[in-house]
Amino acid sequence: MSKATTFRQWWGTPLVGLAGGYLASLIGWPLPWMVGSLLAIILVRCLTPWQLMEIPGGRKCGQWVVGIGIGLHFTPVVMEQVLSHFGLIFFGALITSVSSVVSVWLMRRTGEDRATAFFSSMPGGSGEMVNLGARNGADLSRVAAGQSLRVLVVVLCVPAAFKYLLGDGTPMQHPTTVDWLWLAILFPAGALLAWVWERLRQPNPWLFGPLLVSAAVSIGWDLHIGLPNGASQLGQWLIGSGLGCHFNRQFFRRAPSFMGRTLVGTVLTMLIATLAALGLSTLTHLDLRSLTLGMMPGGIAEMSLTAETLQLSVPLVTALQVMRLLFVLFLAEPLFRYWTSRPGSDL
Q: Which domain holds residue 153?
A: 3-340
On whether residue 30 sits in a domain, the answer given is yes
pLDDT tens per residue across all 347 residues of the chain = 445 558 888 999 999 999 999 999 999 888 899 999 999 999 999 999 999 999 999 999 999 999 999 999 999 999 998 999 999 999 999 998 999 999 999 999 888 999 999 999 999 878 889 989 999 999 998 999 999 999 999 999 998 888 777 665 554 445 468 999 999 999 999 999 999 999 998 888 999 999 999 999 999 999 989 999 999 999 999 999 999 998 988 888 877 888 899 999 999 999 999 999 999 999 988 889 999 999 999 889 989 999 988 888 999 999 999 999 999 988 999 999 999 887 666 66
On whether residue 60 sits in a domain, the answer given is yes
pLDDT confidence of residue 1: 46
- Amino acid residing at 168: D
On whether residue 347 sits in a domain, the answer given is no
What distance in Å separates the CA atoms of residue 63 and residue 238, rounded to the nearest whole number?
Answer: 8
On whether residue 345 sits in a domain, the answer given is no
On whether residue 223 sits in a domain, the answer given is yes
- Amino acid residing at 163: K
Q: Give the total number of structural domains in the chain.
A: 1
On whether residue 18 sits in a domain, the answer given is yes
Q: Residue by residue, what is the 3-state secondary structure of the chain?
A: CCHHHHHHHHCHHHHHHHHHHHHHHHCCCCCHHHHHHHHHHHHHHHHCCCCCCCCCCHHHHHHHHHHHHHHCCCCHHHHHHHHHCHHHHHHHHHHHHHCCHHHHHHHHHCCCCHHHHHHHHCCCCHHHHHHHHHHCCCCHHHHHHHHHHHHHHHHHHHHHHHHHHHCCCCCCCCCCCCCHHHHHHHHHHHHHHHHHHHHCCCCCHHHHHHHHHHHHHHHHHCCCCCCCCCHHHHHHHHHHHHHHCCCCHHHHHCCHHHHHHHHHHHHHHHHHHHHHHHHHHHHHCCCHHHHHHHCCCCCHHHHHHHHHHCCCCHHHHHHHHHHHHHHHHHHHHHHHHHHHCCCCCCC
pLDDT confidence of residue 252: 85
CB-CB contact of 273 with 296 (8 Å): yes
Q: Is the pTM of this model over 0.85?
A: yes
- Give the Cβ contact number of residue 216 at 10 Å: 15
Cα torsion angle, 13, 19, 20, 21, sign:
positive
What distance in Å separates the CA atoms of residue 53 and residue 101, rounded to the nearest whole number?
Answer: 34
54 CB-near residues (< 8 Å, 6+ apart): 10, 13, 241, 242, 245
Domain harbouring 293, CATH code: 1.20.1530
- Give the Cβ contact number of residue 151 at 10 Å: 20
pLDDT confidence of residue 344: 62
pLDDT confidence of residue 170: 52
On whether residue 105 sits in a domain, the answer given is yes
On whether residue 346 sits in a domain, the answer given is no
